[in-house]
Amino acid sequence: MSSITGVLAAVATPFDDDEKLVESALRAHVRRQLDAGIHGIFALGTNGEFYAQSAAERAEATRLVVDEVAGQVPVVIGAGAATTRETITIAQDAAAAGADALSIITPYFAAASQAEISNHFRAVAESVDVPVIVYNIPARTGNAVAPATLEKLAEVDNITGVKDSSGNFDTILQYLERTDRESFDVISGNDSLILWTLLAGGSGGISGIANVYPKTMASIYDLFVSGNSAGARAAQDSIRPIRNCLALGNPNTVVKHAANVREFGLGPARAPFNALSDAAKQQISETVTADLGRGLA
């Protein structure tokens, strides 16, 4: 059964200047997304800085997000880790906390064969009774999920989708070609490819830029399904300037700074991934100001 459609916000995890989770800011940011009409919440992913948090911190943030959403939209929790054993522990905790689905990143740092990648996802899927979404982001992990591997994984009952953040649209196309579009979700993890993924038959996107412009990101899907292809294209194209800013530093830091220009109170990224130059901060601020002037929201 298809489980994830539309645009989900890859919500950032707000920290204070001492790098502690700010519950009020996290709840407010989740509400901001819901009020903007976003179609789901994706927490503790790359934009949520899962890699910079302990299992206990991730568990706390998971519970806060699930509680704040209160069933209004699907909640997907990033539950991946470098080893299968740790991933299963985190995944079981997130499932117990009420996650509607789990995003499981490929193992990272150590090189993994396709057989090892397959074994990893199968073991995690067998350990929980909620849908599992394969997360492919080879530039960050060093390990890619080959289309042939995904085809086999899609046969597992509760592996119901893939989030592709490779940036290679042909990978998305191959994933679509090898899976059942009625029962398996192919989701773009790259903001720039959301509309094109939908046009190709995918289910939607998971958006980091939604931290800055949630209404604009949600509108890409809403306009697409309403048949307004020109409006959807305009919304998709409108985020190019802020997307260009991602090259100015760690993308998570750029997104948080842009959101903070809008006074969203997300705080800094955790060190050492938190040092933007003054010139970068100025360019991001100017871009956000110009975007707001163009009607992005």
Q: Tens of pLDDT along 108-141? A: 999 999 999 999 999 999 999 999 999 999 999 9
In a domain, 130, yes or no: yes
Looking up residue 184, the CATH number of its domain turns out to be: 3.20.20.70
Q: Has residue 2 got a pLDDT over 70?
A: no
What's residue 3's pLDDT?
73
Q: How many domains does the chain have?
A: 1
Name residue 81's amino acid.
A
- Whole-angstrom distance, CA of residue 251 vs CA of residue 133: 22
Check if the beta carbon of residue 65 is closer than 8 Å to that of residue 100: no
b/e sequence 56-81, b meaning 16+ C-beta within 10 Å: ebbbbbbbbbbebbeeebbbbbbbbb
Nearest-angstrom CA–CA distance, 252 and 43: 13
Residues 6+ apart with CB under 8 A from 26: 11, 13, 14, 61, 64, 65, 68
Within-domain flag for 102: yes
Bond prior to 214 in cis (omega within 30° of 0): no
Mean pLDDT of 76-96: 98
pTM as predicted: 0.97
Range of the domain at 198: 6-226
Residue 234 is assigned to a structural domain of this protein: no
Per-residue pLDDT tens for 162-216? 999 999 999 999 999 999 989 999 999 999 999 999 999 999 999 999 999 999 9
SS3 content of the chain, % helix, strand, coil (to 5): 50, 15, 35
Query: Does 140 fall in a domain?
Result: yes
Residue 24 one-letter amino acid: S
- pLDDT (mean) for 222-237: 98
**What is the overall mean pLDDT for the chain?**
97
Active site residues: 135, 163
Helix (H, G, I), strand (E, B) or coil at 267: coil
The answer to whether residue 275 is domain-embedded is no
Distances in Å between the Cα of 219 and the Cα atoms of 84, 233, 236, 292 are 37, 10, 9, 15
Q: Residue 117 annotated as binding?
A: no
Q: From residue 285, give the alpha-carbon distance in Å to each of 107, 217, 256.
A: 35, 19, 11
Q: Does 143 map to a domain?
A: yes
DSSP 131: -
pLDDT value, residue 95: 98
Percent of the chain with pLDDT over 70: 99
In a domain, 86, yes or no: yes
Q: Is the dihedral of CA 285, 288, 292, 297 positive or negative?
A: negative
pLDDT digits (tens, 9 = 90+) for 35-72: 999 999 999 999 999 999 999 999 999 999 999 999 99
266 residue type, one letter? L
Give the CB-side neighbour count of residue 4, counting CA atoms within 13 A. 36
Q: Would residue 233 count as lying in a domain? A: no
Q: What are phi and psi of 274, to 5 degrees?
A: -145, 15
